[in-house]
Amino acid sequence: MRFPSRKGFTKDSLVTLLFVLPSLVLVGYFVYVLIGWNVVVSLSDWKGLTPSYNIVGVGQYITLFQDQEFLTSLTNNLILILLFVPSSLALGLFLAILLDSKVRGEGVFRNIFLLPFSLSYVITATLWLWMYNPKVGVINTLFQTIGLGFLQPGWITDPNIALVCVVLAIVWQFSGYTMLIFSAGIKSIPESQVMAAEVDGASGFNLYRRVIIPQLKAPALNAFVVLMVFALKVFDFIYVLTGGGPGYSTYVLPLLMFRNTFSMNQYAYGAAIATLLFLLALVIVIPYLYLSSRREKD
Amino acid sequence: MIIPKPRRIILYILLIFFAFVFLLPLWADVTTSFKTVHDLIYTVPMQPPLSPTIEPIITAFNTMKRPLMNSLAFTLAATILSCLLGSINGYALTKIRFRGSNTMFLLFSIGIFLPYQAVLVPLVLTMSKLGLYNTIAGLILTHTTYGITITTLLFRNFYGLIPDSLIMAAKTDGAGTWTIYRRIILPLSLLPFVVAAVLQFTSIWNDFLFGVALARGSEAIPASVALANLKGTTEVTWNVQMAGALWYALPILLIYLVLGKYLIRGYMAGAIKG
């Protein structure tokens, strides 16, 4: 609040305080106090139903990195990020380029591609349960109908490909979003630049590679951060689609955190995973916020 | 750009192929929702039903009725509250610019990207202490709070476009902070309110994590959790499960059809899906 010294505490500054106070209190408590509280829980020995605040230090974190379930979940999370983020960016860019070619019915296609993104993960996971059902599901019966009956993968019931199946489904859900971001980026490139490049003989593939794609760094960064943070905290979708199975083949950190906390009352363990998730998110988000605040000033 | 003809054909083949892939899961949901148990056995999911029935739709509605009402109640309330607070914050951040406003903005921005797992255990404890565990009120408080961060950003970006000279002129006329908000800012706010409301409604309606952590009994259980639970019960056949998904998707599909362009603006504004 800017309190002009000659006037002291004016009625206006009181109004300002009243304006932002409720939100500051809510966000201050429910975001920042709770993050701190969660760190305290992660440093305690709390198991079972009654809270215990015997602080035992960072032992929980050391245990984590010796725990096979944790290491498997962490690895799965990293594989998921490595497969999901580049695929969604690539497919989104591809769709945006297809739609940039003065297509008839552009709006209809755009709405179809974006539709899955607007739906709840519980819905999309339910849809993909039906898609992937190995006996009577959509894909395998479709394969039979079109003469690909010899292809009957077990999809999410096969531990070797279950994680890839999860990735395919969330790429389906997110590439409409990346398409949207890239489309807006392409539209913001001045027509004159594109025309100049065409006069110089660039066309089709070359036009995109030399002129358009290099100018999509900012939208790519925005989409990248959104995808990374999503892939880090992915929970609902996997909870409903595979529940982490078969075995531990699709377990990820948020799922491990949830199961340990709410099914097994391992509160300190769950809180430690949650703190790690928060730190990983900060590693992605802080540089991004720094970059975008600099861009805003320019 | 003039592209030779064969290329145009490939372009449309690709577009139609992708449209097919994107719509296939939804199509199979609709066909399955109208199938009898007999049709479930004798048709493949992609086929339309042989003898369409609304039986699964009715069964699913009876199971999901209370959860759908719960979701509607807390989603509407939290949408309205988070939009009002976001509007006030956006105004304070752009047009008053008090000391500490930059810090407030940074703290809120981090809140947008917060993995909610990082607050989940203390959140459940807090709600229990407040007597709000497993209540609609608890879900309203939770969704409002975590929604404020994104609505504040949306309104801040929009109010940044309102010229300061307008505010200055009003100040010279002796208008105070509240009067300026009510007489100048609010009347210009229809668009950001629609964008923020559509975005908030969809993301709160779609939430699963808070619902499953904060609501256990039928008093407050959201539709997302009820749909996820349908999967667990073995006697529920695919047609009912697909019909349940259809019911839960209905409000979002309506918003997408009628207010889609505002939802897209929300996504573009750096909106993050929980």
Q: Is residue B117 part of a domain?
A: yes
Q: Is residue B204 part of a domain?
A: yes
pLDDT of residue B83: 96
Q: Do A23 and B148 touch (CB under 8 A)?
A: yes
Q: Which residues, in sequence order, are CB contacts of B3 under 8 Å at separation 6+?
A: A101, A204, B11
pLDDT per residue over A124-182, tens digit each? 999 999 999 888 889 888 988 888 877 888 899 889 999 999 999 999 999 999 999 99
For residues B24 and B130, state if they share a domain.
no
Q: With 90 as the cut, is the pLDDT of residue A3 above it?
A: no
Q: With 50 as the cut, is the pLDDT of residue A6 above it?
A: no
Calculate mean pLDDT across residues A84-106.
92
For residues B13 and B108, state if they share a domain.
no
pLDDT band at A9 (very low <50, low <70, confident <90, very high): low
For residues B34 and B164, state if they share a domain.
no
pLDDT of residue B1: 52
For domain A43-297, the question of CATH label 1.10.3720.10 is answered with: yes
Q: Kindly identify which residue of chain B lies nearest to residue A181, measuring between CA atoms.
A: B268
- Say whether pTM exceeds 0.80: yes
pLDDT of residue A201: 76
The domain total for chain B is 2
Show the low-confidence residues of chain B (pLDDT under 50).
Answer: 271-274
Q: Which residues of B touch A138 (CB under 8 A)?
A: 24-25, 28, 44-46
pLDDT per residue over A259-289, tens digit each? 999 888 888 889 999 999 999 999 998 888 8
Q: Which residues of B touch A120 (CB under 8 A)?
A: 205-208, 224, 248-249, 252
pLDDT of residue A211: 81
Q: Is residue B47 part of a domain?
A: no
Residue type, B243: A
Q: Which residues of B touch A130 (CB under 8 A)?
A: 25, 28-29, 32, 45, 238, 241-242
pLDDT of residue B99: 78
For residues B213 and B253, state if they share a domain.
yes
For residues B198 and B232, state if they share a domain.
yes
pLDDT of residue B213: 93
CATH number at residue B257: 1.10.3720.10
Q: Which residues of B touch A113 (CB under 8 A)?
A: 18-19, 22
CA-based radius of gyration for chain B: 23
Q: Which residues of B touch A34 (CB under 8 A)?
A: 118-119, 122-123, 126
pLDDT per residue over A185-215, tens digit each? 888 888 888 888 888 877 777 788 878 888 8
Q: With 70 as the cut, is the pLDDT of residue A255 above it?
A: yes
Q: Which residue has the tokens 């202490």?
A: B129
Q: Which of A37, A112, A177 sits opposite B267 (nearest CB)?
A: A177
Domains of chain A, residue spans: 43-297
Query: HEC profile for chain B?
Result: CCCCHHHHHHHHHHHHHHHHHHHHHHHHHHHHHCCCHHHHHHCCCCCCCCCCCCHHHHHHHHHHHHHHHHHHHHHHHHHHHHHHHHHHHHHHHHHHCCCCHHHHHHHHHHHHHCCCHHHHHHHHHHHHHCCCCCCHHHHHHHHHHHHHHHHHHHHHHHHCCCCHHHHHHHHHCCCCHHHHHHHHHHHHCHHHHHHHHHHHHHHHHCCCHHHHHHCCCCCCCCHHHHHHHHHHCCCCCHHHHHHHHHHHHHHHHHHHHHHHHHHHHHHHCCCCCC
Domain that holds residue B10: 5-42
CA dist A238 and A228 (Å) reads 16
pLDDT of residue A180: 94
Q: Which of B18, B110, B252 sits opposite A285 (nearest CB)?
A: B110
Q: Is residue B48 part of a domain?
A: no
Distance from CA of A26 to the nearest CA of B (A): 6
Q: Is residue B273 part of a domain?
A: no
Q: Kindly identify which residue of chain A lies nearest to residue B87, measuring between CA atoms.
A: A19
Q: Which residues of A touch B160 (CB under 8 A)?
A: none
pLDDT of residue A55: 80
For residues B34 and B106, state if they share a domain.
no
For residues B101 and B167, state if they share a domain.
yes
Q: Do B11 and A98 touch (CB under 8 A)?
A: yes
Which of A20, A35, A122, A140 best tests the B interface by mutation, with the highest count of B CBs <10 A? A122
pLDDT per residue over A26-63, tens digit each? 999 999 999 999 999 898 888 777 776 778 878 888 88
Q: Do B1 and A102 touch (CB under 8 A)?
A: yes
Q: Do B267 and A117 touch (CB under 8 A)?
A: yes
For residues B11 and B139, state if they share a domain.
no
Report B:50-109 residues touching A (Cβ under 8 A).
Answer: 85, 88-89, 91-92, 96-100, 104, 106-109
